[in-house]
Chain A
Amino acid sequence: MTVPAHDLQRVAEVISKAITTCSLQSAMVADTSTLSLDKLLSLSFDELGFDSLNFMEFCIALHLDLGLELSIGEVASLRTLGAVADRVLTRSPAR
């Protein structure tokens, strides 16, 4: 990662919250709130047991919290939460 730590921390918090928000009955979503930043960002969607509905809710949560619209296909192709954080930071308007 080549981004300022405080930006990454904020995006990670949003991602962690999005994971909680998008958990559905059918998903094997772990409690991510207790994980370290590194551990959280290393998680893959496979490990989280994401299905298409989880991806949709995850994208919606990112949209509402960050104002950034990513498609399911785009997020799914990124594979890990860390890659999503990278994408968010490179596409977010400068703050």
Chain B
Amino acid sequence: MFMAALDRRVRERGSDPAVITDGRLVTLSELAADFRSLAMWLERQGLGVGDPVAITIKDEYRHLLATLALLRIGARQITLPSYESAEYRQAIAARVGAAAVLVEDERHKLSTLPALTPDFASFATSIERAPADHEADAAIYFITSGTTGRPKITSLTESQLHQQARAWQHPLRKEVFFRPSSMEFNNAKRQRLYSLSIGSVNVFKDHGETEIAGVCRRFGVTRLALSGAQAHGLLEREADRSIALPATTHVRLGGGLIGEKLRRDIMRWISPNLHVVYATSEFGSISTAPPAINAVDQKTIGTIHPGIALQVVDDQDEILPLGRSGHIRVRGTGMASRYVDDPEASAKAFRGDWFYPGDIGHLSEDGRLYFEGRSDDMMNFASINIFPAEIESAFAAMPGVKECAAFSLRSENFGELPMLAVVGNNMASPDELLKHGKRLLGLRAPRRVFVIDEIPRNSAGKIARRDLSEFARRTMEKDRR
């Protein structure tokens, strides 16, 4: 469905702009020529319907071409970000049974997988062919953090991707879309595909470009998608210069943890056109607080999108009255149905026809949704969800480590910084533990390791992570003196 809709638009509106990359405008026809050529090349390499293929490509446009080419031939795909360690990429590739990895840089090859290095510069011509019929198959895998200590892998079909795209932008409208994050990030990749699917133009940041506002002005961006950290950064720079975004640029900010002050600052300094969106990888967009709501209520994450059922329930799955806090659950057409290779996590999150994102919140009488926190200990670091178990399992088996506990330290700019407390004898030094974490966990690695005598626990035996955060804050403060 996703590719069929794209093919139809290429036929009907091929001269429409699709992508702006390195200042160059690429039309839908040119984009199609490029990815179809790459698709043919991939088929000549022996890849086809159902083959799981990994992508490690930093360049935005090339990553998009690889994504579309793999969708075109019906292969399954997963992004293995270049910033992750080889061990991590190998482990994820093994879990989806990847047959090959597409790379543009020799350094990103994996010893366990055949690498394919397309000559992107040669893809300029194409032959029209009907796409294969493979819409019911898994198309794209997305990696998220896992409660069980392993990353969760969500699987979306083309059809689910297409449906998520239609719910993503509400109301549906063509935009000049700019997301200043690498396509190697789960959210950024999905949003690029969503925007392409609904006929918007994707703007890619030039190499070395750091001026978000400059890009918006230069290319007439109408929809700017930011993380909380990016919003903070933009605020500091733009507020200094008293320069706002163009009046036609709307800002989309994701996540339930967007505070009231940040919203007010964005509306005051950057743009009054602020849309706060609640979304998940498994489901897509769930609710939006548009500018009119943000102007009067900076706490809500908005009203539920049409076609989506959302309920707030208690621990026994009984529906709670309006105003009462409980577990949020959602149901809709574009949602995933399970996690790959993880029955435990699947059983917890997908029950009946519902998806349970693990969030706590309530609905007001006028239909607004309010996010109140997580039902678990998940951290949100730079828009990446991290469960403590994922960090702890990477260290638990190390020689000398008796016990460990992951926790977070609040950061104004990046949310919650992952940290680790370790108890043990004759174990590696904190520096060596940090390196080990970086190698295995990449961006999710703890940024500091604290060796302590005992992991603090509450009366129920649960790790007292807040106590650890406070301990870490005080220890670092003391070290700085």
Contact = CB atoms under 8 A, between A and B. Distances in A.
B166 to A, nearest CB: 30
A77 B107 CA distance: 30
Given A46-B208, A60-B417, A60-B447, A26 B236 contact: no
B88 to A, nearest CB: 11
A77 B480 contact: no
B382 A64 contact: no
Number of chain A interface residues as a range: 20 to 34
A19 interface: no
Given A60-B411, A69-B412, A74 B237 contact: yes
A94 B382 CA distance: 30
B232 interface: yes
A25 B417 CA distance: 21
B401 interface: no
Interface string B282-300: 0000000000000000000
A24 interface: yes
Interface in B174-215: 180-182, 208, 210, 212
Main secondary structure of the interface of A (DSSP, over half): helix
Interface string A49-84: 000110010011101111101111110110000000
B105 to A, nearest CB: 8
Contacts of B232: 71, 73
A56 B443 CA distance: 10
Given A64-B476, A74-B233, A74-B237, A69 B82 contact: no
Contacts of A70: 413
A67 B480 contact: yes
B83 A53 contact: yes
Interface in B206-250: 208, 210, 212, 229-230, 232-237
Contact of B210 (A26, A69, A76): A76
Interface of B: 58, 82-83, 85, 107, 180-182, 208, 210, 212, 229-230, 232-237, 382, 409, 411-414, 417, 443, 447-448, 476-477, 480
